[in-house]
Structure 1
Amino acid sequence: MKIGLDIMGGDYAPRATVLGAIEAYKSLDPNQKLVLIGDKEVSLPFFEEQNFNPDHFEFVHTKEAIGMGEHPTKAITQKPNSSISIGFKMLKEGALDSFSSAGNTGAMLVGAMFSVKTVPGVIRPAISSIVPKLKSGYGIMLDVGANADCKPDTLLQFGILGRLFAENILGIQNPKVGLINIGEEEEKGNLLMLATHPLMKDTNMFNFVGNIEGRDLFDDKADVIVCDGFTGNVMLKLAESFYVLTLKKGFKDEFFARFNYEQYGGSPILGVNAPVIIGHGISTPEAIKNMVLLSRSMILTKLVDKIASAFK
Structure 2
Amino acid sequence: MKIAVDVMGGDFAPKAIVEGALLAANELTEQVRIVLIGNQADIQEVLGERTLPATIEIVHTTEVIAMGEHPTKALSQKPNSSIGVGFKLLKERVVDAFCSAGNTGAMHVGALFSVKAVEGLIRPAIVGFAPQVSGKMAVLLDIGANADCKPEMLEQFGEIGSLYAQYTHGVDNPRVALVNIGEEEQKGSLVAQAAHQLMKATKKYNFIGNLEGKELFTDKADVIVCDGFTGNVILKMGESIYDILKSRGVDDEFVNHMNYEAAGGSPILGVNGNVIIAHGISSPLAIKSMILLAKRQVESDVYTKIKQALS
Relative to the length of structure 1, the TM-score reads 0.97
How far, CA to CA, are the matches of 2:200 and 2:190 in structure 1?
16
1:47 maps to 2:47 = yes
For residues 269 and 53 of structure 1, the distance between their equivalents in structure 2, rounded to whole angstroms, comes to 29
Name the counterpart of 1:16. 16
In the TM superposition, residue 31 of structure 1 has moved relative to its aligned partner by 1.9
SS in 2 for 1:165: helix
Could you say which residue in structure 1 is the equivalent of 2:252?
253
Partner of residue 126, structure 2: 127
Checking the alignment, whether the CA contact within 8 Å between 1:3 and 1:99 is kept in structure 2 is: yes
Deviations 1:126-167 (A, max 9, x none): 001011001211101000000011111110110011111111
Letter in 2 for 1:193: A
Aligned partner of 1:19: which letter?
E
Task: Tell whether the 8 Å contact from 2:32 to 2:55 is kept in structure 1 after alignment.
Answer: no
CA distance in 1, matches of 2:169, 2:48: 36
> CA offsets, 1:207-234, max 9 Å, x none?
1010111111101111100000011111
CA distance in 2, matches of 1:291, 1:52: 22
Spell out, residue by residue over 1:89-118, the C-alpha distance to the aligned partner (whole angstroms, 9 max, x if none): 111111111101000000000000000000
- 1:182-205 per-residue CA deviation (whole Å, 9 max, x = no partner) reads 111011011101111111001111
AA at the equivalent of 2:140: M
Which residue number in structure 1 is paired with residue 207 of structure 2? 208
| 1:143 equivalenced with 2:146 (yes/no) | no
| TM alignment of 1:46-195, pairs within 5 A | 46-48=46-48, 51-53=50-52, 56-195=55-194
Superposition deviation, residue 168 in structure 1: 1.4
8 A Cα contact 1:47 1:54, kept in partner: no
- Give SS of 2:233's match: helix
- Counterpart-to-counterpart distance in 2, 1:177 and 1:61: 43
Unaligned segments of structure 2, at least 5 residues: none
Q: Which moved more, 1:270-279 or 1:23-32?
A: 23-32
C-alpha contact (below 8 Å) 2:163/2:302 kept by paired residues = yes
1-structure distance, mates of 2:101, 2:172: 31
Is 1:163–1:177's contact at 8 Å kept on the other side of the alignment? yes
Length, aligned pairs only: 311
Q: Which amino acid aligns with 1:18?
A: V
> Which residue type is aligned with residue 269 of structure 1?
I
3-state SS of paired residue (1:289): helix
Q: Match of 1:41, as an amino acid?
A: A
Asked if 1 retains the 8 angstrom alpha-carbon contact of 2:30 and 2:55, the reply is no
Say which SS state the counterpart of residue 154 (structure 2) adopts. helix
Given that 2:139 and 2:161 are in contact with CA atoms closer than 8 Å, whether structure 1 keeps it comes out as yes
**Contact 1:20 1:287 (C-alpha < 8 Å) held by counterparts:** yes
Measure how far apart 1:55 and its partner are. Answer: 5.1
Stretches of structure 1 lacking an aligned partner (at least 5 in a row)? none
Return closer, same or farther for 1:52/1:263 CA change in 2, 3 Å cut-off: farther
Contact 1:4 1:99 in 2 (8 A): yes
SS of match in other structure, 2:17: helix
Percent of aligned positions that are identical: 55
Superposed displacement of residue 172, structure 1: 1.4
Distance 2:249 2:57 in 1: 42
Please tell me whether the aligned partners of residues 116 and 274 of structure 1 are also in contact (alpha carbons under 8 angstroms): yes
Q: Counterparts of 1:208 and 1:122 in 2: how far apart (Å)?
A: 19
Local SS of the residue matching 1:11:
coil
Q: CA deviation at 1:18?
A: 0.2
Hey, what's the Cα distance between the residues in 2 that align with 1:54 and 1:137?
33
**Could you say which residue in structure 2 is the equivalent of 1:238?**
237
Alignment RMSD (CA, Å): 1.1
C-alpha contact (below 8 Å) 1:44/1:54 kept by paired residues: no
SS across alignment from 1:177: strand
Of 267-276 and 163-172, deviating more is 163-172
